[in-house]
Structure 1
Amino acid sequence: MPPLPDLVRPMLAVPGELPAGDDSAWAYEMKWDGVRAVAYVQGGGVRLLSRNDRDVTRSYPEVLGLGEALGSTAAVLDGELVTFDARGAPDFGRLQQRMHVADPATARRLARTVPVVYLVFDVLQVDDTPTLSLPYDARREVLAGLGVAGPSWQVPPSFDGPGADVLAASRENGLEGVLAKRRTATYRPGARSPDWRKVKHVHTQEVVLVGWRPGQGRRAGTVGSLVLGVHDRDGVLRPAGGVGTGFTGRALDHLGALLRPLERRTQPVEGRFPPPDVRDVHWVEPRLVGEVVHAGWTADGRLRHPSWRGLRPDKHPDAVVRED
């Protein structure tokens, strides 16, 4: 059997509103709050690559059974690694415990206490036949034929709409929103395409960590808040304000250990921060990505009322762009 491709980068959605007009031209999927991963399954083995091409296989041992489940069938699958809370809703905070684990013994222990499910929503190749040029509906038929169903891997449903009803159902079930996917659209590896639209209930934004400010009182000398940057449409890293809420003490300690070795003398962004935002700031190389919840953007390009959600080691800093 010919080998599978070494790398197929995932297709990306653009933020937007529900499609207007002919609803039948679109399919709707729930938006899962997890870590995107492409799975390469062959000969009973599984290799998981994150959105920034990192091999994260050893962090999620419970997903390896997918290789045995598919048997002699080889496949490249696209999906999301998700952890659920006691109510059955995705819990990104719990997932953070799984995202940095490289030790196999620790990963196996966490697989029992903080299990993930690999939610597969697309298929990019089966055996030696790529499916990238097939329209969405045809790829979903191929995916259904694979019988991907197990204790740690599932194919979530696709809905016909109306989109407004699916979006309302996602809110009722504590989900982040929906993805609207054009039924005739092919799969475009690595492209951010309007054929896929993400419609969210809350505003989230990936951010590049460009500096930190010391805490006060008992946390003096440790990380108290973060200084943020986001790339504009021309790829220039611009100031995006700062975030000082949403952290646990443990998270701040972990951030301090990661940020201190990255310190530099000058700011790595083009543009000026308001002086209060950068008083006593320690600038760092822009290598770490995080995510915040926020209330929108100010006229001068700063995040309004951001709250920290966590690090995103699955995202590359160069791919962080403003989502309006």
Structure 2
Amino acid sequence: MNARRTSGSGPAGIFASPLDISPMEAKSAEALPTEPGRWQFEPKWDGFRCLAFKQGESVRLMGKSGKPLDRYFPEVVETLLRASFGRFVVDGELVIELNGRLAFNALQARLHPAASRIRRLSIETPARLILFDMLIGPDGANVGSFSLEKRRRALEEFGQQTSIAGKLIVTPCTRDLAVATSWLKDFDHDGRDGVIAKKLDAPYLSGERAMLKIKRLRTADCVVGGFRYQSRAGEVGSLLLGLYNPEGLLDHVGFTSTIANDERSALTRKLRALRAPPGFTGAAPGGPSRWSTERSGEWEPLRPELVVEVRYDHVTGGRFRHGTKLLRWRPDKPARQCTMEQIAAQPRVP
């Protein structure tokens, strides 16, 4: 994207507005809210949150952290430049589809210093922007001060006139609790990893956790292929989790550190009695990172005999993206039944 299209020091320089530009955020909830007539439900997409600003020939994309994203997604900038309106501020999610499924690791691959690589990836794996809210309308109105009901009408009208198939789309929504419940249960259907609930009568509250996010409970039975000690302690700090790949090798897929303090001593003794290399016969845990201590980076291999059930939220590149929650031990589960098939299916998109 050339300098003419990115004039200004940031979104505020492009779009003069008294509205705070921080995105409205969500807080976690265990279940969907049930008060009738008060909530709108939307799919929770697995991508990069993005505020998009346009004024004339200037387009900026801003991530949730406040950092610019337009450099990394030039194809989305071009899409917004082609939109029929010359000015607006919208809220949405950047996503990339690979083989019919959303691919978060493809988004991460875009955050690269080489412009030539970014341009190549923008052609090979183009991103799309899924819109779910509006802050400033094409006429300059402060739409963010409106209720969600009015903002949604404005967004749908905007989408009807600017929608570009497969590149710029408006997210579906419902006020029907039964439909939202089906979305939550069937996350594999079209790229949802949960449901967002928004109050119909509320304005866009920038920077506030004014929405609810409800994630589907996803669990997997994993082999404990190794463990790490707590930093500067002689007790277990985290369990290293493995799943058998199609070749029958045990791949490291993540970790869990939700171990009760009163159980650490006994668990440490149990794990030490099972120590034996190699632990993982396929992909193995890496060494220390620049943030870990010397000891926390080391790991002890175990015989593949222990199985645990864990809860997780995302999978990227065959690994749990974040730490998992230990739910229970599974002495009844043979280790060989813990296969990659449990986490292989990634969300599809329409």
Short-chain TM bin: 0.5 to 0.7
The counterpart of 2:181, out of the listed 154, 160, 164, is: 164
2:313 maps to which residue?
none
For 1:36-72, what per-residue CA distance to the aligned partner results, in whole angstroms no more than 9, with x for missing partners?
A: 1111111133101111111111100110123323345
For 1:111-159, what per-residue CA distance to the aligned partner results, in whole angstroms no more than 9, with x for missing partners?
A: 1212211111110112432122211111111111213412422112112
| Counterpart-to-counterpart distance in 2, 1:7 and 1:21 | 30
2:192 maps to which residue?
175
2:105 maps to which residue?
93
Could you tell me how far 1:198 is from its partner in structure 2?
A: 3.0
1:294 maps to which residue?
324
The counterpart of 1:43, out of the listed 56, 59, 62, is: 56
| Counterpart-to-counterpart distance in 1, 2:80 and 2:189 | 34
How do residues 1-324 of structure 1 correspond to structure 2 at under 5 angstroms? Answer: 3-5=15-17, 8-87=21-100, 89-98=101-110, 100-126=111-137, 127-147=139-159, 148-150=162-164, 151-161=166-176, 162=178, 163-173=180-190, 175-193=192-210, 195-202=211-218, 259-260=289-290, 278=296, 291-292=321-322, 294-296=324-326
Contact 1:43 1:67 in 2 (8 A): no
Q: State the AA in 2 paired with 1:197.
A: K
Distance 1:191 1:105, change over 3 A: same
The TM-score normalised by the length of structure 2 is 0.58
Contact 2:29 2:212 in 1 (8 A): no
2:222 maps to which residue?
none
| Counterpart-to-counterpart distance in 2, 1:293 and 1:186 | 34
Q: State the AA in 1 paired with 2:78.
A: G
Which secondary structure does the structure 2 equivalent of 1:93 belong to?
helix
| Counterpart-to-counterpart distance in 1, 2:118 and 2:169 | 21
Q: State the AA in 1 paired with 2:193.
A: E
| Unaligned runs of at least 5 residues, structure 1 | 204-210, 214-223, 231-243, 266-276, 282-289, 299-308, 310-324
Identity %: 24
Distance 1:71 1:225, change over 3 A: closer
The TM-score normalised by the length of structure 1 is 0.62
Could you tell me how far 1:181 is from its partner in structure 2?
A: 1.6
| Unaligned runs of at least 5 residues, structure 2 | 1-13, 220-230, 232-237, 239-251, 259-278, 300-319, 329-342, 344-350
Provide the alpha-carbon RMSD of the alignment: 4.1
Which secondary structure does the structure 2 equivalent of 1:64 belong to?
helix
Contact 2:49 2:93 in 1 (8 A): yes
Distance 1:102 1:174, change over 3 A: same
Q: State the AA in 2 paired with 1:80.
A: E
Could you tell me how far 1:20 is from its partner in structure 2?
A: 4.2
| Counterpart-to-counterpart distance in 2, 1:32 and 1:225 | 23
Which secondary structure does the structure 2 equivalent of 1:132 belong to?
helix
Could you tell me how far 1:168 is from its partner in structure 2?
A: 2.9
Q: State the AA in 2 paired with 1:154.
A: I
Distance 1:66 1:115, change over 3 A: closer
Moved more, 168-177 or 9-18: 168-177
Distance 1:225 1:39, change over 3 A: same
| Counterpart-to-counterpart distance in 2, 1:67 and 1:73 | 9
Which secondary structure does the structure 2 equivalent of 1:19 belong to?
coil
Contact 2:132 2:171 in 1 (8 A): yes
Distance 1:7 1:152, change over 3 A: farther
For 1:60-115, what per-residue CA distance to the aligned partner results, in whole angstroms no more than 9, with x for missing partners?
A: 0110123323345311111111112313x3221332212x2233221110012122
Over alpha carbons, which structure has the higher Rg? 2
Distance 1:178 1:60, change over 3 A: same
| Counterpart-to-counterpart distance in 1, 2:197 and 2:75 | 29
| Counterpart-to-counterpart distance in 1, 2:206 and 2:84 | 26
Contact 1:44 1:71 in 2 (8 A): no
| Counterpart-to-counterpart distance in 1, 2:216 and 2:167 | 26
Number of residue pairs aligned between Structure 1 and Structure 2: 244
Flag as ranges the 4+ runs of structure 1 deviating above 4 A: 224-230, 262-265
| Counterpart-to-counterpart distance in 2, 1:7 and 1:111 | 30
